[in-house]
């Protein structure tokens, strides 16, 4: 079965929206995690985890916190954006049914 042109446009719209949301949330999440790391540890996050001046525990700890935090933020933001997009997409269909039913 071939997708309709409208379905393909909606898929492309969702991909664009999803990418923009992911970029924005990724930036905000990283800044928030870095701020939290600095407030919690009293040190700036390691700029280069591969540097021998950075302790192994600190490099691994920051990598874990950053990785988990970024992925959780991405999942929550993407799911929320997808729900909003689906609700927004359904509004014209609901309005059309109301108009036809009247």
pLDDT digits (tens, 9 = 90+) for 8-45: 676 787 788 878 888 899 999 999 999 999 999 999 99
Residue 81 binned pLDDT confidence (cut-offs 50, 70, 90) = confident
Distance separating alpha carbons of residues 67 and 52, to the nearest angstrom: 21
Tell me the percentage of the chain whose pLDDT exceeds 90.
Answer: 35
Does the pLDDT at position 100 exceed 70? no
pLDDT in tens, 39-70: 999 999 998 878 888 899 999 999 999 999 99
pLDDT band at 86 (very low <50, low <70, confident <90, very high): confident
Residue 32 structure tokens: 């928030």
CA dist., res. 2 & res. 63, Å (int): 43
The mean pLDDT value for 85-92 works out to 76
Region 70-87: mean pLDDT is: 87
Among residues 26, 50, 20, 72, the alpha carbon closest in space to that of 34 is found at: 26
Q: Closest Cα partner for 7 from 94, 89, 97?
A: 89
């Amino acid at each position: 079965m071939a997708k309709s042109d409208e379905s393909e446009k909606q898929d492309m719209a969702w991909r664009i929206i999803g990418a923009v949301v992911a970029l924005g949330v990724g930036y905000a999440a990283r800044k928030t995690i870095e701020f939290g790391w600095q407030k919690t540890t009293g040190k700036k996050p390691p700029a280069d985890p591969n540097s021998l001046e950075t302790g192994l525990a600190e490099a691994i700890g920051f990598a874990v916190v950053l990785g988990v935090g970024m992925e959780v933020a991405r999942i929550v933001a993407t799911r929320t954006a997808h729900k909003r997009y689906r609700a927004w997409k359904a509004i014209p269909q609901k309005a059309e049914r109301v108009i036809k039913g009247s």
